[in-house]
Amino acid sequence: MGSLDHNFNKTGLNISSMPNSQQQQQKIVIGEAGYVLEDVPNLSDYIPNLPTYPNPLQDNPSYSVVKQYFVDVDDTVAQKIVVHKNSPRGIHFRRAGPRQKVYFEPDDVYACVVTCGGLCPGLNTVIREIVCDLYYMYGVTRVMGIDGGYRGFYSKNTIPLTPKVVNGIHKRGGTILGTSRGGHDTKKIVDSIQDRGINQVYIIGGDGTQRGAAVIFEEIRRRGLNVAVAGIPKTIDNDIPVIDKSFGFDSAVEEAQRAISAAHVEATSFENGIGLVKLMGRDSGFIAMYATLASRDVDCCLIPESPFYLEGRGGLFEYIEHRLKANGHMVIVIAEGAGQELVSESLKSSDPSGNKPLHDVGLWISERLKEHFSKQKKMVINLKYIDPTYMIRAIPSNASDNVYCTLLAETAVHGAMAGYTGFTVGPVNGKHAYIPFDRIIEKQNKVVITDRMWARLLSSTLQPSFLGTRDIIKENKEEELPTQLADNSTTDDNSMEKQILR
């Protein structure tokens, strides 16, 4: 297909001489056999005649043993790897990694790092690795932390970051930079970046934070500033699309199992014992689903994507009664966003990030269970409610997440040094890639309740799906065709699925 030119937009036209309004379009390269590259911007797209320099890594003794360390300019990563014989090659993203040429000399770099939104295991690890990678790989010595989220750009002090300052912080939960929600004032933020002479901005946060990063990038590009903006996606709920998973998720699932184990002990120690655990998951139930599958002690898992009802034939109350009579105890896991439509209170206000406050569905369902079984069924239950939400958020990242955070930080630094900007980093099918901001913020990743993973959970817990035939048909119709094709790729998979569902 030839070398992938930086200067193409979705029409395939050269964007270097196009008006600013047209340059806002996503860069897309169309190739043979249905190949589509959704590329990320480069500083050279809007700043002419930028000089390049040899990558300092070529003289780094630590990497001299690597046979082919630099990433080829044409390397891309496929979004989907399950295809049919006649399937088009589909959407690709630019592969992340070090380039032979960079757009910054180490002495000229002044980088900053900011963390926004809620806490998540691994934040300190990402901060540490950004600082150390800039320092040890590229010889960058000027890095500062922005104190307290987006508003810290214009209202708080900065924190000088050196390898000595960040040494050991990966063993601590939270973020040494502090964080906050909201406070995004684009003009003030970019003014601060420009006035301070910052030319690399590393922004760590969830989908709302990445939306803010996209706006910052657009304003920087509008002003024609030689500033690279790199995003590192963070959400404990694992609800960011495109990437395989978000950092902190493995740590959250591991810690959630501790709560489930405690609930199981409580439930089995009393007659008609019920252990109820509420886990994080505002809109997506990945933590609850994976913790349930990993635990194997859970009898019922309730998530936002799967509606349920309490009373009547096939309802939750009937199922709980059945399990208590059969086993004498049960464990229920519920994600914080599940069953909100059943809660009588109507909460319409929002927090500074635009999130609607949720009713404590754990407390609510606890009261409903006690009322139902004591008053209507005249049946004594011993219910123990465990809410480990903020304990899970505040823990340090585990070994798996520490390695993952290291790779995210490293690829973000490589991208910024190579002049890429307006991108988010993350693994796509196991290979790290540079992903345009608009793909990360276009929607939320959710559990597909007509997918195999949810079927595995139902097989593990033996709970009803709480879905009627019409609901299943509706869910299937709403799924995109490529997803359906990927999920039904082989006859063997279909046979296995039937066995699971039996």
Contact 217, 422 (CB under 8 A): yes
Could you list the pLDDT tens digit for every one of the 502 residues in the chain?
444 444 333 333 333 333 343 334 678 999 988 999 999 999 999 999 999 999 999 888 888 777 778 999 899 999 998 888 888 889 999 999 999 999 999 999 999 999 999 999 999 999 999 999 999 999 999 999 999 999 999 987 899 999 999 999 999 999 999 999 888 999 999 999 999 999 999 999 998 999 999 999 999 999 999 999 999 999 999 999 999 999 999 999 999 999 999 999 999 999 999 999 999 999 999 999 999 999 999 999 999 999 999 988 889 999 999 999 999 999 999 999 999 988 864 344 455 555 667 889 999 999 999 999 987 777 899 999 999 988 999 999 999 999 999 999 999 999 999 999 999 999 999 999 999 999 998 889 999 999 999 999 999 999 988 865 445 445 555 554 444 444 444 334 443 333 333 2
| Three-class HEC string of 103-119 | CCCHHHCCEEEEECCCC
Give the span between the Cα atoms of 361 and 340, in whole angstroms: 7
3-state percent breakdown (helix, strand, coil) of the chain, nearest 5: 40, 15, 40
Give the span between the Cα atoms of 146 and 192, in whole angstroms: 11
| The residue type at 111 | A
Which amino acids are annotated as binding site, given as ranges?
A: 118, 181-182, 206-209, 235-237, 280-282, 336, 390-393
Contact 145, 158 (CB under 8 A): yes
Give the span between the Cα atoms of 183 and 156, in whole angstroms: 12
Which amino acids are annotated as binding site for ATP, given as ranges?
A: 118, 181-182, 206-209
Contact 424, 435 (CB under 8 A): yes
**Which residues are tagged catalytic?**
237
- Residue 147 half-sphere exposure, CB side, CA atoms within 13 Å? 7
Angle between helices 123-132 and 399-417 (to 10 degrees): 40
10 Å CB burial of residue 105 (0-12, 13-18, 19+) is: middle
Distance of CA 486 to the CA centre of its chain: 22
Nearest in space to 325 (alpha carbons), one of 369, 274, 261, 260: 274
Beta bridge partners of 232: 204
Contact 126, 232 (CB under 8 A): yes
Main-chain phi, psi angles of 13, to 5 degrees: -90, 150
Contact 113, 146 (CB under 8 A): yes
DSSP string, 327-357: HSEEEEEEETTTTGGG-S-------TTSPPP
Beta bridge partners of 286: none
Buried b / exposed e along 355-365 (16+ C-beta atoms within 10 A): eeeebbbbebb
Give the span between the Cα atoms of 413 and 422, in whole angstroms: 13
Task: List the helix and strand counts (H, then E) for the chain.
Answer: 18, 17
For residue 96, CA distances in Å to 74, 369, 410 come to 11, 50, 9
Match 């065709």 to its residue by tokens. 481
Give, as one character, the DSSP assignment of residue 133. I
Give the chain's end-to-end CA distance (angstroms, integer): 48
10 Å CB burial of residue 452 (0-12, 13-18, 19+) is: middle
Nearest in space to 41 (alpha carbons), one of 454, 419, 490: 419
- Residue 172 half-sphere exposure, CB side, CA atoms within 13 Å? 12
Which amino acids are annotated as binding site for substrate, given as ranges?
A: 235-237, 280-282, 336, 390-393
Beta bridge partners of 277: 333, 386
| The residue type at 388 | P
For residue 369, give both structure tokens: 């269970």
Which amino acids are annotated as binding site for Mg(2+), given as ranges?
A: 207
